[in-house]
């Protein structure tokens, strides 16, 4: 996935002001995807997604449960890596956001 898709998803996510759950999921997946194979730690996700720890925990539970990201625990610290399924979700989200936008709707 290129930077073009990531920037387009970010643009879609912030056009409306307040974010929906779908936009937050996209933000989390984009941040995780950008971190590559090294993964991203919880603190970095908190900062990039601009969420409280309790709210982030709920989203991460859903994302790992849906197998969109993998949680890797090492020395008591969590690192998150996007899965192929997560990348497919981002692609589908982008297509859906484009279609909704063509009808004048914001997600």
- How many domains does the chain fold into? 1
Model-level pTM? 0.80
The answer to whether position 107 is within a domain reads: no
Distance between CA 65 and CA 19 in Å, rounded? Answer: 22
Tens of pLDDT along 39-57? 999 999 999 999 999 999 9
Q: Give the range of the structural domain holding residue 98, as residue numbers without chain letter.
A: 3-102
Rounded CA gap, 104 and 4, in Å?
22
Please give the DSSP secondary-structure letter assigned to residue 20.
P
Per-residue confidence in pLDDT tens, the chain, 107 aa: 445 555 555 555 555 468 889 999 999 999 999 999 999 999 999 999 999 999 999 999 999 999 999 999 988 899 999 999 999 999 999 999 999 999 998 77
Q: Is 36 among the domain residues? A: yes
In a domain? residue 37: yes
For residue 49, give the CATH number of its domain.
Answer: 1.10.10.10
Start-to-end CA distance of the chain, whole Å, equals 21
Is 40 within a domain? Answer: yes
* 52 in a structural domain: yes
């Amino acid at each position: 996935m290129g930077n073009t898709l990531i920037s387009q998803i970010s643009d879609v996510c912030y056009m409306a002001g307040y974010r929906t759950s779908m936009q937050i999921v996209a933000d989390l997946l984009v941040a995780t995807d950008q971190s590559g194979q090294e993964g991203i730690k919880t603190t970095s996700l908190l900062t990039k997604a601009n969420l409280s720890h309790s709210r982030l925990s709920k989203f991460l539970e859903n994302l790992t449960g849906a197998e969109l990201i993998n949680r890797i625990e090492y020395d008591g610290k969590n690192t998150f890596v996007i899965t192929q399924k997560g990348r497919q979700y981002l692609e589908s989200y982008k297509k859906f956001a484009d279609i909704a936008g063509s009808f004048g709707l914001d997600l």
